[in-house]
Structure 1
Amino acid sequence: MPTHAAARPLVSVLIPAYNHERFVQHCLDSVLEDPYPAKEIVIIDDGSTDRTGEKIAEWIKAQGHLLRVEYVQRENRGISAAWNELAARARGEFLRLCASDDYLLPGGLEAQVRYLQTHPTKRVVVGDSIVVDQYANKLHDSGMRDLHHADKRLYSSDEGIRQAVISQWAIGGPVALLHKSALETIGRWTEGLRIDDWDFFLRVAARDALGFIDVHVGAYRLHGNNVSKTRHTATRIVNLTEACQVARRRADLFDEPHRTLLKAQAHYICAKIAFLQKRLFVLTFHMLVYLALLAVSKLRACPMSTHGPRRNLFARKTRRSEGAYVDT
C-alpha cells in the first residue's frame, strides 16, 4: 500500500463473480484505476461454469502485485451467501459492493467515504450509476432516473428515502458503500433469497441509516442475463413471490405510515403476479386492497410534520383527541 494511503480508511471492494468471463477483468480494472489509495479486492468465484475463474486468475497474475487481492473459488452457494463470506473475509473499515459484470467509476470511492465520515448517523450510502450495454456503451445517464424512473429528490431526506426504498426501488448496480460494523446492527444478507438487495436496504432504511449522494459512482451493465431484468414469466413470478414475502416480513420494522405503505406494496406485487398468471379476480382483489392501504398510509401521514420525530408528533395528536396514545 502506498505511504499516502496510511491516513485513509481501508475500503474492501467485494465482488461476487458468477459466469461473467466477458466482464470480470473490466470490473477488476475499474477498482485498480480508481484513485482512492487505500483499497483491497475480495472476490469469490461462486461456482462459475464458464472461464470466469481463469479470467480472475489471469488478472491477479498480471496486476495482483499492485494491490491486495483475496480470491476464493468454490461451489455455487448463491449471491447472499457470497456477500456474507466476502464481508467476513474483508479487512476494510468500509465495504464497497460491486457485481462482477458491473464496474466502478473513478472518484466514487472517495466521494462515498467522505460522505460517511461526515454523516456519522448514516451507515450506508448509495450513489447513482450510468447504465451501459455489454460492450460498455452508455445506454442511460442515470440508472435511477432513466432505468428505474425514480424521483431522485426523494433521496434528499430520511422520509423520502423510506418512501423510495419501499415503493420506488431504484438502488441497482455497484452504488453502495457501507461501514463494515453496520452489519452487526442491521444484520447480514438473508441467505436463500434470489434477489437479496431489497431485503437488505429495507432493513437499512428502517433505521434511517441510509444516505444518498447524487454522484455517478458505478456503471450498471445490461447484457440480457441480469437476474432482476428477466422476461421469463415463470422466473418473474418466482422473483415477485419472493419480493412479496420480503415486504410482509419487513413491514413491522417500520413505524406508521411506512408500515402500512409496505403492506400496500406487498399487495401491489401480488397483483403483478396475478396479472402474469392471468387471474383477473385475484388481480382485482389485490389492487383494491393496495389502493385502500395506500389511502390509509396517506391519511396516517397527514398529521406528520417534517420538523420533528414522526412518531412523537402522532402520539401527541392522538392524546389530544382520545386522551391516551394508542400506537397504530
Structure 2
Amino acid sequence: MADDAATQAPPLVSVLIPAFNHERFVQRCLDSVLEDAYPTKELIIIDDGSTDATGERIADWVATHCMELPIEYVRRQNRGIAATLNELVARASGEFLRPGASDDYLLPGGLDAQVRYLLAHPCKGAVIGDSVVVDRDGNKLHDSGMCGLHGANKELYRSDDGIRRAIISQWAIGGPVALIRKSALDTVDRWSEGLRIEDWDLFLRLAARDALGFIDVGVCAYRLHDSNLSKTRHAATRMVNLDESRHVALRRAGLFGEPYRTLLRAQSHYIGAKISFLQRRLCPLLLHLAAYLWLVVVSKARPTTTHPDGGAP
C-alpha cells in the first residue's frame, strides 16, 4: 500500500498580485508564476486602479494562460496596497498565501522551499526568504537583498530571539519574500489599511507570537527602478514614511515581552532621530539619540518576560 504522505497532493498556494502602474514589468511577474514548478497553485490579481496600460497587459496575459492554472482577475478603482492585499486574501482559497508585487517576480523553486518549511514547522505562521535585486532591465545588482541593500546579519534570522531583534531593529526584508499560512492571519489580523509601509506592521505582529521563520533561499527578484527609488530619495516622502513607522513601533510595543518592548521604544527614538536629521533640527536629533542609546542599554538589563497575552516569549 502506498504511503499516504507520498501520495497526498501538495497544499494549495494562492499567489496574490496587487498591481498598480507597472505596465513594463507586470508580464514578467505573471510569467514567473507559471515558470515556478510548484504544482498546486492559483493566481489572484487585482489591478488597483492603474492609469497606464497595466490592466490591458494583465487582461491579455490572462486570456492567453487562463487554461494553464486557476486565475481570478479583478479591475477596480484605487484603494491602496493594504486594502488590496486584504481583498486578495479574502478571495484566496489556498492554505498558504504568497503575496507578490507586479514589478517583482518569483524565482523558480521558491514556493516549494517555503511550503516545505511551513509543513515541517506547523507552529510557524509565515516564513520569509531572501531576494536577488535586479534593475529595471532585469540585470542583477545584488545576490542578496537582505545583505546587499540592508547590510543584514542573516545569522539573526536563525532563532526566534534573533528574528524578533532583527524585525524590530533592522528591517531588512527586500521585496515580497513571505509565504503566509492563511490561518495565521486569523490570529494576528491582516494588513492594517491606511498604512503606507504595511509589511513591517504585519511582521511585527507575527514576530511577537514567534510565528515567523526564515530560509536562506532566494525566493523572488526585487526590482529597483525609477518609481520605487524616487520614493526613498524624496525627503518629504521619507519623513512621512518614517513618522508612520515611529507610530507603528509605539503601537506594537505592547505586544512584546521584555526586552523586546524596550527595544521597540528605542527604535521609535532612532526613527525620530532620522526625522529630525531630515528636518535639520539639531536639539530633537540629540534628544532622540540620547533616548535611543539609553533604552538600548536598559534593554540589556531587562529580564526576559512572557508576552502580555501569556504566551512564551
Scaled by the length of structure 1, the TM-score of the pair is 0.90
Q: Deviations over 1:183-236 (max 9, x none)?
A: 110111000001100000000000000000001111000002117952111111
Partner SS state of residue 16, structure 2:
strand
Give the match for residue 41 of structure 2: 39
Aligned partners of 1:8, 1:156: CA distance in 2, in Å?
26
The verdict on how the C-alpha distance between 1:77 and 1:206 changes in structure 2, with shifts beyond 3 A counting, is same
- Are the equivalent residues in 2 in contact too, given 1:97–1:177 (CA < 8 A)? yes
Deviation at 1:40, TM superposition (A): 0.7
Give the match for residue 70 of structure 1: 72
Q: Deviations over 1:22-66 (max 9, x none)?
A: 001100000011000000111100011100000000101111210
Give the match for residue 182 of structure 1: 184
Deviation at 1:172, TM superposition (A): 2.4
Q: Which has the larger radius of gyration?
A: 1
Provide structure 2 residue ranges, at least 5 long, that are not aligned to the other structure: 1-5, 307-313
1:204 partnered with 2:206: yes
Provide structure 1 residue ranges, at least 5 long, that are not aligned to the other structure: 302-309, 313-328
Structure 2 residue corresponding to 1:49, chosen from 44, 48, 51: 51
- Are the equivalent residues in 2 in contact too, given 1:195–1:228 (CA < 8 A)? no
Structure 2 residue corresponding to 1:220, chosen from 219, 222, 231: 222
1:274 partnered with 2:276: yes
Aligned partners of 1:192, 1:15: CA distance in 2, in Å?
19
Aligned partners of 2:230, 2:163: CA distance in 1, in Å?
21
Partner SS state of residue 13, structure 1:
strand
Give the match for residue 317 of structure 1: none
Identical residues among aligned pairs (%): 68
- Are the equivalent residues in 1 in contact too, given 2:49–2:77 (CA < 8 A)? yes
- Are the equivalent residues in 1 in contact too, given 2:149–2:174 (CA < 8 A)? no
Q: Deviations over 1:257-307 (max 9, x none)?
A: 000000000000011000000000110111111110111011225xxxxxx
RMSD: 1.4
1:250 partnered with 2:244: no
Which consecutive segments of 4 or more residues in structure 1 shift more than 3 A?
none
1:155 aligned partner, one-letter code: Y
Aligned partners of 1:250, 1:127: CA distance in 2, in Å?
23
Q: How does 1:1-328 map onto structure 2 within 5 Å?
A: 7-226=9-228, 229-300=231-302, 310-311=304-305
Q: What is the aligned length?
A: 301
Aligned partners of 1:192, 1:236: CA distance in 2, in Å?
17
Aligned partners of 2:264, 2:246: CA distance in 1, in Å?
10
Aligned partners of 2:195, 2:38: CA distance in 1, in Å?
32
Give the match for residue 311 of structure 2: none
